Structure 1
Amino acid sequence: MLFTEEELREEITKLEGWKLDNNVMVRKYMFSQYMKGIAFVDEVATISEAFDHHPHITIDYKTVTLRLESNEEDGITALDLRAAHEFNEAFEKNH
């Protein structure tokens, strides 16, 4: 199920650090060390496999950027929001 733009904007405000960029959810995570970012990406991969829903991941030294969208649905779904929440929890736990 896709969200209306208004519903989506409301849901995004509940997720720290996430923003909308042309119907894609985006968050940049900053780390104090390169290897902490790599460890985070490994945890993101584990979470993503459990959900069978994978973000686009960009690693730029100590910055990891995640992009979420549901290609099958051509937009953002509840699964994207749930994954974003889990990624935020992983970041807080290991940051």
Structure 2
Amino acid sequence: MQFTEEELREQISKLEGWKLEQEVVVRKYMFNEYMKGIAFVDEVAAISEAFDHHPHITIDYKTVILRLSAKEESGLGALDFRQAHEFNEAFEKNR
């Protein structure tokens, strides 16, 4: 299900740290150790496989940036926000 602009704003307000940039939701995660960020990326990969929906991942030393988009679905939808929520839970376990 694709969200309207208003629904997107409502959904993003429920997700800590995420922001909407055009048709992509983005979050920057900061870690105090490089290997904690790498462990987080491993968990993100497992979550992504389970969803069969994969984010763009940027690793910059102790910073991991995730970007979710649903170009093949013509817009962001519920799947993206459920997945972002799971990424946030994984972050809490890996900080």
| TM-score, shorter chain, exceeding 0.5 | yes
**Shift in Å, 1:5:** 0.3
Kept in 1: contact 2:24–2:69 (CA 8 A): yes
How far apart, in 1, do the equivalents of 2:47 and 2:73 lie?
A: 20
How far apart, in 1, do the equivalents of 2:56 and 2:64 lie?
A: 10
Q: Over aligned residues, Cα RMSD in angstroms?
A: 0.6
How far apart, in 1, do the equivalents of 2:72 and 2:25 lie?
A: 15
Q: Which residue of 1 aligns with 2:10?
A: 10
- Structure 1, unpaired ranges of 5+: none
**Shift in Å, 1:23:** 1.1
Matched to 2:29, the amino acid is Y
Matched to 2:83, the amino acid is A
- Structure 2, unpaired ranges of 5+: none
Q: Which residue of 2 aligns with 1:37?
A: 37
- Percent identity over the alignment is 79
Matched to 2:11, the amino acid is E
More helix as a share of residues: 2
Instruction: Name the count of aligned residue pairs.
Output: 95
In the TM superposition, structure 1's runs of 4+ consecutive aligned residues that sit over 3 Å from their partners are: none
